[in-house]
Structure 1
Amino acid sequence: MDLDTVTVRVGEAESAVNITVYRNLLSDVSPYFRGAFEGSFVEAADRFISLTDVTEQTFRMFLQWVHTQVHQHSSGATIPSPVILLPGSTAKNAGNTTTAPVELQPPHHTQSVPDAGFLPDDISALDEMGGHQKRWDIKEIEGLQLKGSEWINGYRLSLLSFLRLYVFADKYNVPQLRDDVLTALTAQSISWWWWPGVDRELMESAYATLPPSSKFIRFLVLSTAYCWLSEPGSCSATRVRAMKEMNEVLAFDVMVVQNERLKETESSEGMPFWLEDAMPNSCTLQEHLARDAAKCRKRIREQPYIFIGLIEMCAQDALSMAKESDEE
């Protein structure tokens, strides 16, 4: 067992903090960190790296995700209620703690053990559009929306938290985290019957920090085209104008999908008309660089707590951001 530690300094200037982490925890999931700490770079000799463009919260969320890869800590098999985004709510098993700080957990793999989150063969995985996983009543979501802006703001902030994790995984080459973020987002959207719409800050941040070919951006484009743009009772022309004013690249990408959808159904070309056909599960968006498609599907079915944990972390991060904003 390799218990060598390294120090990661995250944040800018006075707000930066040093976090001590077992080297293998980083090297096992990221070629970037493996190259930095096991190669001939100065970081390897000093056992120190500075990430000025990463917040402490995002890095600790990343470490918590790493922790779930090597330890069988389940947060249950049920995606939390949308109410989790309201102040005073608590994530399921949020009080669970480890025996040591996350970054100092020994980097050993535990033997797979039976878990409450494992699914029988006749039950779909939590990211399958046509599956039979628990879905919350759409009226509950609409009720939360109608009560005021608090839930909508919490939802928006949670999407920004997902985006920051994805951007971190993209910049520091953590391919499995990129795939897992998309699985968690897909699973949450299916369970809540609520897909991301057009939000200026989210869209601007995504296009500013990710390449246009990013799978996260593709997720937003599909969600916008199939759900937001096609929402009953809305004026598509008005929404297209709003998209163009916000981000012309987004508007173009969405209209390409929309035009492909509306081609003759008899044609073999174009996009499927329904979202569940275009994206039957999150694997249609994933890169599968860390695991192939078959292993990925098995992991999603047998370890749902990984993705539920991401949903819970981003929800709690959103609540923290909302609280900080209220205090300013």
Structure 2
Amino acid sequence: MDLDTVTVRVGEAESAVNITVYRNLLSDVSPYFRGAFEGSFVEATDRFISLTDVTEHTFRMFLQWVHTQVYEHSSGATIPSPAILLHGSTTKNAGNTTTGPVEVQPPHPTQSVPDAETLPDATSALDELDGHQKRWDVNEIEGLCSENSELINGYRLSLLSFLRLYVFADKYNVPQLRDDVLTALTAQSISWCWWPDIERELMESAYAALPSSSKFIRLLVLSTAYCWLSQPGTSSATKMRAMKEMNEEFAFEVMVVQNQRLKDGESLEGMPSEGMPFWLEEAMPDSCTLHEHLARDAAKCRERICDQPYIFTGLIEMCAQDALSMAKESDEG
């Protein structure tokens, strides 16, 4: 392993911190960092780069993701329960994902890979709608939410954490992390039977930081069209007006999907067509539907998701713990 190190300064002004990182860890996953540290730029000479628009916590989450891949270190291979979003959660791995320095850690010869008993059925992956992972019942989720308003806020903040990590990967060109965030979010949504719906802060943040063609925004469009609009209660027309008030471009994309799927569903009675599938299982059988596959092709991507589920459960746990940290900071503020 190349033991050359660089210093990354993250955060703004007085709150900024310096983090020492192995250069190859950054270069291997990001053309941006590879160009900065191995090219003719001043960063390569000084071995220093400043990222003022990145929080320390988000950058450490990124480093944890890198180390999980390189050293195959896992905190588990099963998706945690929604209770991980509650303060004082007794979830097995809660609180253990992002603590401690992760930047300079040479590989340890005794570091173990996940126990085979913790791995899911090899015939399915955790991001497949027909997979064999634990799936919560919708009534169970509704019961938890009615008893714990904290859970709803934690879920909202966890989505913002997923978004911040995706925005980091988009800005600093980490294509595999972009795909992995979408896989983790898809797997969590399937397991919890709880897909992202429209939320003003999430939508405004996504459109402010990402192009409208972003795969993250596409996931929000699909989950809104297939899941949120189909929920009983408020009429679809009222929901569409609410979306339009938040973001007209997003509302338009949702309407395109909704109108096309309903048109095809009525004309073909649910049979497959060349238009938009009627069911979410057909529109997005797994997260690869949303992937760019710039770092790995589709076949290798599916193999990786099946063989290394701990990469994605680790992301879920990190975003949950980040949500708890944000909630705590809000309470203290």
**For the residues of structure 2 that align with 1:302 and 1:317, how far apart are their CA atoms?**
26
Q: Which amino acid aligns with 1:184?
A: A
Matching of residues 56-135 of structure 1 within 5 Å:
56-94=56-94, 101-106=101-106, 115-116=115-116, 117-122=118-123, 124-135=124-135
Question: Is 2:237 aligned against 1:237?
Answer: yes
Matching of residues 312-323 of structure 1 within 5 Å:
312-323=317-328
**For the residues of structure 1 that align with 2:250 and 2:96, how far apart are their CA atoms?**
40
Q: CA RMSD in A?
A: 2.2
Contact 2:7 2:21 in 1 (8 A): yes
- SS of structure 1 residue aligned to 2:278: coil
Runs of 4+ in 1 over 6 A off after TM superposition: 107-112
Q: Which amino acid aligns with 2:24?
A: N
Q: CA deviation at 1:287?
A: 0.4
Matching of residues 172-321 of structure 1 within 5 Å:
172-265=172-265, 266=268, 268-321=273-326
Q: Which amino acid aligns with 2:280?
A: L
**For the residues of structure 1 that align with 2:294 and 2:114, how far apart are their CA atoms?**
27
Q: 1:76 to 1:326 in 2, by over 3 A?
A: same
Residue matched to 1:324: 329
**For the residues of structure 2 that align with 1:110 and 1:301, how far apart are their CA atoms?**
24
Contact 1:30 1:174 in 2 (8 A): yes
Contact 1:127 1:190 in 2 (8 A): yes
Q: CA deviation at 1:145?
A: 1.5
**For the residues of structure 2 that align with 1:110 and 1:219, how far apart are their CA atoms?**
39
Contact 1:27 1:33 in 2 (8 A): yes
Contact 1:75 1:92 in 2 (8 A): no
**For the residues of structure 2 that align with 1:107 and 1:262, how far apart are their CA atoms?**
53
Q: Which amino acid aligns with 2:151?
A: W
TM-score by length of 2: 0.93
**For the residues of structure 1 that align with 2:167 and 2:307, how far apart are their CA atoms?**
26
Q: CA deviation at 1:229?
A: 1.2
TM-score by length of 1: 0.94
**For the residues of structure 2 that align with 1:304 and 1:49, how far apart are their CA atoms?**
32
**For the residues of structure 2 that align with 1:220 and 1:262, how far apart are their CA atoms?**
18
**For the residues of structure 1 that align with 2:109 and 2:70, how far apart are their CA atoms?**
5
Structure 1: give runs of 5+ residues left out of the alignment: none
1:66-94, Cα deviation, whole Å (9 max, x unpaired): 00111121222210000111111155334
Q: Which amino acid aligns with 1:254?
A: V
**For the residues of structure 2 that align with 1:95 and 1:142, how far apart are their CA atoms?**
25
Contact 2:264 2:276 in 1 (8 A): no
Q: 1:29 to 1:211 in 2, by over 3 A?
A: same
Q: CA deviation at 1:109?
A: 11
Contact 2:261 2:276 in 1 (8 A): yes
- SS of structure 2 residue aligned to 1:264: helix
The size of the alignment, in residue pairs, is: 327
Q: CA deviation at 1:105?
A: 1.6
Residue matched to 1:36: 36
1:238-260, Cα deviation, whole Å (9 max, x unpaired): 10000011110110010010011
Q: Which amino acid aligns with 1:278?
A: A
**For the residues of structure 2 that align with 1:264 and 1:253, how far apart are their CA atoms?**
17
Q: CA deviation at 1:140?
A: 2.4
